[in-house]
Amino acid sequence: MTGWLGSAYLWVKAVHVIFVIFWMAGLFMLPRYLVHHQEGLPIPGEPERWIKREALLRRMILTPSLVIVWVLGLMLAVNLGLLDGQPGLGWLHAKLLLVILLSGYHGWAVGYAKKLAAGRPTLAPRTLRLVNEVPALGAILIVILAEVKPF
């Protein structure tokens, strides 16, 4: 593999994919926690337990994984010529757009956890369950773009 990463490229890609798995695991868990947190709001002692679990998940998994996935992903992208206008990188532009949307979803989920911590849910339980599916849909599309590179 050429480019400024040289033979380290495949190692960077391996670590990128490892932290993608961790990030996605966290992104599957947090919205599920939010459903339980919201259902538990009227039960004494429950909200405090979910606030603690959510904070731990963010500190130990979500935030570090998000940062590492972005840093390594951008290193790979620069190596492939994203900044030099290389042709054939349509898949990467589309992937970046979806990853930005997924990062926005991450931010939304953290914000909703803060609303629940303040005892102010704003979504109906059914809507909250529906938005749980967003990370799965994002992961499917992003992995197809990264692996198949259809354009």
| Residue list for the binding site for heme | 16, 95
Map the footprint of ligand HEM across residues 6-25, applying CB under 6 A.
Answer: 13, 16-17, 20, 24
Q: Which of 5, 29, 68, 74 binds ligand HEM (CB under 6 A)?
A: 74
- How far is residue 98's CA from residue 132's CA, in Å, rounded to a whole number? 16
- Minimum CB distance to ligand HEM smaller for 22 or for 33: 22
- Minimum CB distance to ligand HEM smaller for 51 or for 76: 76
Residue 146 makes contact with ligand HEM by CB under 6 A? yes
- How far is residue 145's CA from residue 90's CA, in Å, rounded to a whole number? 9
- How far is residue 145's CA from residue 139's CA, in Å, rounded to a whole number? 10
What is the nearest approach in angstroms of ligand HEM to the Cβ of residue 143?
A: 5
Beta strands in 3-145 (DSSP E): none
Q: Which of 73, 112, 113, 116 binds ligand HEM (CB under 6 A)?
A: 73
What is the nearest approach in angstroms of ligand HEM to the Cβ of residue 119?
A: 32
- Under 8 Å CB-to-CB from 15, ≥6 apart: which residues? 68, 72
Residue 91 makes contact with ligand HEM by CB under 6 A? no
How remote is the C-alpha of 45 from its chain's centroid?
29
Residue 77 makes contact with ligand HEM by CB under 6 A? yes
**Using alpha carbons only, how large is the chain's radius of gyration in Å?**
18
Query: Which burial class, exposed, middle or buried, applies to 73 when counting CB atoms under 10 A from its CB (0-12, 13-18, 19+)?
Result: buried
Report the interface residues with ligand HEM, using CB under 6 A.
13, 16-17, 20, 24, 69-70, 73-74, 76-77, 80, 92, 96, 99, 102, 139, 142-143, 146-147
